[in-house]
């Protein structure tokens, strides 16, 4: 009789663990890193018509929406009015195409869902939600624990993480943006498992979903200089 495969859940590392000087294992992983946040959230929260209770309830509902992005191996960490998500990719190029395409679909659908949520927020609501996606090699920090545990305490660090976070301030009104190597991966072009360099970020692409297909805004170069 076949054994049922146990479902492993990835959760953030508790900072108390570091104070206890526990053991950490660091492994290189090729991943998609996404950061998302609410556009003009602070301005909305500071509005005189918005109570603390309304702000807290909005964040609660927002976190419930984030669960749509979580799918088995997707690591998801809420951050104030946004999140950090990491999808570890397979070694097979064909499988990576499928994984990257599905991840971008989920990002796009999440934004649609959050924008519907924002329509019910007190006037004037936050201006929307944005997500930035980058591919590259990162270091996965994992707590050494029993193999029987169904929870893996992990976190991720590296240049792709920093790049994806920085891109939130580039063309801030655009909802879905990814780096050149993510676009190439979805289209099955070239070797996208190399280290991320500045060249990968010279071209950034808006993406969306049409008829179930991930589509990119063609020929648009986005400035890397943050707009103030």
Q: Which domains does the chain have, with CATH numbers?
A: 23-216 (3.30.70.1230)
Q: Which residue has the higher pLDDT, 79 or 192?
A: 79
Prediction pTM value: 0.84
Among residues 180, 191, 214, the alpha carbon closest in space to that of 30 is found at 191
pLDDT of residue 224: 55
Residues 6 or more apart whose Cβ sits within 8 Å of residue 107: 34, 36, 69, 131, 133, 176
Residues 6 or more apart whose Cβ sits within 8 Å of residue 136: 30, 31, 33, 158, 159, 160, 163, 181, 195, 196, 200
Q: Which residue has the higher pLDDT, 101 or 18?
A: 101
Least confident residue range of 56-60, 152-156, 171-175, 195-199: 195-199
- By residue count, the chain amounts to 228
For Cα atoms 110, 32, 183, give the angle at the middle one, nearest 5 degrees. Answer: 85
- The most distant pair of C-alpha atoms in the chain lies apart, rounded to whole Å, by 63
Q: Which residue has the higher pLDDT, 172 or 152?
A: 172
The neighbour count for residue 44, using CB atoms within 10 Å, is 23
pLDDT at 164 exceeding the cut of 90: yes
Judge contact between 207 and 214, C-beta under 8 A: yes
Q: Which residues pair with 34 in a beta bridge?
A: 85, 133
Tokens of 161: 């993480």
pLDDT at 174 exceeding the cut of 60: yes
pLDDT at 218 exceeding the cut of 60: no
DSSP state of 168: G
Tokens of 199: 């060249």
Most confident of 124-133, 184-193, 198-207, 211-220: 124-133
Q: Which residues pair with 10 in a beta bridge?
A: 152
């Amino acid at each position: 009789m076949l054994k049922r495969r146990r479902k492993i859940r990835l959760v953030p590392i508790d900072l108390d663990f570091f104070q206890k000087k526990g053991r950490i294992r660091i492994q290189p992983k090729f991943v998609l890193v996404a950061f998302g946040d609410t556009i003009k959230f602070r301005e909305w929260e500071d509005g005189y018509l918005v109570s603390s209770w309304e702000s807290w309830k909005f964040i609660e509902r927002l976190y419930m929406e984030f669960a749509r992005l979580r799918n088995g191996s997707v690591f998801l960490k809420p951050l104030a009015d946004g999140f950090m998500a990491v999808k570890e990719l397979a070694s097979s190029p064909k499988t990576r195409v499928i994984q990257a395409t599905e991840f971008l679909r989920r990002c796009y659908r999440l934004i649609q869902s959050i924008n519907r949520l924002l329509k019910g927020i007190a006037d004037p609501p936050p201006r929307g939600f944005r997500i930035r996606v980058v591919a590259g090699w990162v270091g996965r920090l994992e707590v050494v624990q029993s193999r029987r545990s169904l929870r893996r305490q992990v976190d991720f660090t590296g240049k792709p993480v920093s790049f994806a976070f920085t891109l939130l301030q580039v063309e801030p009104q655009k909802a879905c943006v990814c780096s050149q190597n993510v676009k190439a991966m979805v289209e099955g072009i070239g070797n996208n498992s190399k280290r991320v360099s500045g060249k990968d970020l010279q071209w950034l692409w808006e993406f969306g979903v049409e008829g179930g297909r991930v589509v990119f805004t063609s020929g648009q170069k986005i400035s890397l200089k943050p707009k103030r």
